Amino acid sequence: MSEPEQFEVLILGSGEAGKLLAWHMAGLGRRIAVVERRWIGGSCPNIACLPSKNEIWSARVAHLTKHAAQFGTMITGPHSLDETAILSTTRTVLG
């Protein structure tokens, strides 16, 4: 078994604030570790804030809905994409 590592700073989350804090602490010579549960960089650059990411996420939801039965989920009724609603959501996210 390898030896446990020692850190001075533990940062939970690699979103914008976690990333900046990690850079700042590393610049001060601190030994740091960043723990991220899901998306490196946080949700904003991956699924939320950027318009293209919002549209990609909407397409992923549509794909999962279309293939819901493969995951043991039944969709009762038709489903479709509402491109106007997707673009509206994108604009809302951007403010």
Q: What local confidence, expressed as pLDDT, does residue 31 receive? A: 95
Round to whole Å and give the CA distance between 63 and 58.
9
Round to whole Å and give the CA distance between 79 and 32.
47
Lowest mean pLDDT among 4-8, 10-14, 28-32, 75-79: 75-79
* Confidence label for 11 from pLDDT (cuts 50, 70 and 90): very high
Q: Which residues contact 12 (CB under 8 A, 6 or more apart)?
A: 18, 35
* Confidence label for 92 from pLDDT (cuts 50, 70 and 90): low
* Confidence label for 33 from pLDDT (cuts 50, 70 and 90): very high
SS3 string, 64-86, reads HHHCHHHHCCCCCCCCCCCHHHH
